[in-house]
């Protein structure tokens, strides 16, 4: 691997990669050693460290301008999402679109889980990048409360029970019990979730007045513990998948738990895959665009991270926007 300045002839022959890394997630010495062991002398490596005020946007933009063919995000889902936004925008700015590499170092690592990228082992994750296999995945975009700029997402956005459930789930129990941890957390989260009313429009169709605890809109369906909340979601199908949960009594909550855990979870894992099963209290939809207008502001999350409160959402999918090594 080479980091020194090369002659123009050498530069034309070398592969250039950029590392955008979060110093709060990984030790620099360990990362540099893993990168050194993963790439050969025909690879020039450039380094950018994220900062508290910038999770990687300016750094990824510099990597694109520098001509990096691969931009590797080393960190959690926030770092990965920010770098992916820049990568997906590169072609629209008249630049070649680099490939995104992911070295998951966060808590959730949601995109890496959905794409089968190795977790907990930098060397294995870098080996996937070095192998060069690429898959183009979709990028979701959301504009909250009519803001000037959209925010990208790769896994899912939403409000309601999902945010409570993720917050209530014990990390140690997730590692040990997987699905059972979320069942236990769902029971505790139910008491925290509040029903809200909102207007929902799918693909520019008729406005629907909806009531529910939770609305999830996703590009991928799996969260921690192997739990799949959006069983039909595929990261490269050019569609958004939705889950609306509206359970109000014990029977409906039992139906919802069954739908999530068995009908759309374990049953599919055991070989009964099919279309997502909806119930009266847990509806599954699919769309390319979604508009939401809430009666009152609610806490909102993007790829498992808190994003403040929102009253309106405009959501769209950008098919095949991000080439990823996976």
Residue with tokens 């630049």: 95
- Check residue 35 and give its pLDDT: 97
In angstroms, the CA 275 to CA 181 distance is: 25
Q: Compute and round to an integer the Cα radius of gyration of the chain.
A: 21
**If 0-12 CB within 10 Å is exposed, 13-18 middle and 19+ buried, where does residue 296 land?**
exposed
Residue ranges covered by each domain of the chain: 8-132, 142-320
Topology of domain 142-320 in CATH is: Tumour Suppressor Smad4 (2.60.200)
Distances (CA, A) of 160 to 1, 120, 136, 229, 247: 48, 30, 30, 14, 12
Q: For residue 256, which of 247, 264, 248, 265 has the smallest C-alpha distance?
A: 247
- pLDDT block averages, 10 residues each, the chain of length 326: 49 81 95 96 96 96 95 95 93 76 91 94 97 96 92 92 52 49 54 78 95 90 77 94 76 61 52 61 90 92 85 96 96
Structure tokens at 56: 């990687």
In angstroms, the CA 221 to CA 232 distance is: 7
Sign of CA dihedral 303, 309, 311, 312: negative
Give CATH superfamily name and number for 8-132: Probable inorganic polyphosphate/atp-NAD kinase; domain 1 (3.40.50.10330)
- Write out the H or E segment, with its range, that includes residue 22: none
Q: For residue 44, which of 20, 75, 10 has the smallest C-alpha distance?
A: 10
Per residue, the 3-state secondary structure of 49-78, as one string, reads ECECCECCHHHHHHHHHCCCCEEEEEECHH
Q: For residue 17, which of 55, 84, 67, 51 has the smallest C-alpha distance?
A: 67
Phi-psi region of 238 (alpha: psi -120 to 50; beta: other; left: phi over 0): left
- Check residue 179 and give its pLDDT: 46
Q: Contact at 8 Å (CB) between 138 and 156?
A: no
In angstroms, the CA 100 to CA 214 distance is: 31
Distances (CA, A) of 297 to 67, 105, 188, 313: 42, 32, 23, 11
Pairing relationship of beta strands 282-287 and 240-245 according to DSSP bridges: antiparallel
Q: For residue 46, which of 10, 29, 77, 21 has the smallest C-alpha distance?
A: 21
- Check residue 99 and give its pLDDT: 96
Structure tokens at 308: 């403040």
- Check residue 214 and give its pLDDT: 85
């Amino acid at each position: 691997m080479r980091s020194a300045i090369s002659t123009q002839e050498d530069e034309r022959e070398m592969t250039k990669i950029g590392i955008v890394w979060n110093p709060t997630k990984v030790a620099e010495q360990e990362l540099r050693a893993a990168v050194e062991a993963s790439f050969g002398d025909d690879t020039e490596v450039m380094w950018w460290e994220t900062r508290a005020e910038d999770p990687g946007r300016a750094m990824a933009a510099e990597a694109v301008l520098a001509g990096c063919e691969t931009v590797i995000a080393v960190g959690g889902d926030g770092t990965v999402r920010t770098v992916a936004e820049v990568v997906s925008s590169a072609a629209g700015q008249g630049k070649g679109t680099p490939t995104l590499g992911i070295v998951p170092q966060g808590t959730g690592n949601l995109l890496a889980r959905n794409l089968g990228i190795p977790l907990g082992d930098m060397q294995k994750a870098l080996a996937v990048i070095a192998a060069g296999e690429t898959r183009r995945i979709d990028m979701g975009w959301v504009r909250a409360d009519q803001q000037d700029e959209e925010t990208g997402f790769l896994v899912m956005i939403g409000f309601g029970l999902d945010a409570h459930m993720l917050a209530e789930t014990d990390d140690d129990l997730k590692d040990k019990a997987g699905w059972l941890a979320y069942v236990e957390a769902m029971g505790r989260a139910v008491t925290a979730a509040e029903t809200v009313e909102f207007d929902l429009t799918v693909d520019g169709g008729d406005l629907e007045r909806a009531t529910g605890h939770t609305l999830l809109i996703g590009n991928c369906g799996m969260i921690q513990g192997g739990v799949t909340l959006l069983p039909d979601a595929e990261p490269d199908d050019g569609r958004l998948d939705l889950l609306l949960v509206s359970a109000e009594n014990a029977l409906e909550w039992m139906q919802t738990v069954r739908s999530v855990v068995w009908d759309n979870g374990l049953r599919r894992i055991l070989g009964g895959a099919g279309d997502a099963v909806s119930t009266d209290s847990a509806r599954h939809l699919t769309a390319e665009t979604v508009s939401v207008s809430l009666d009152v502001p609610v806490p909102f999350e993007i790829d498992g991270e808190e994003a403040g409160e929102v009253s309106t959402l405009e959501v769209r999918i950008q098919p095949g926007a991000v080439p990823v090594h996976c």
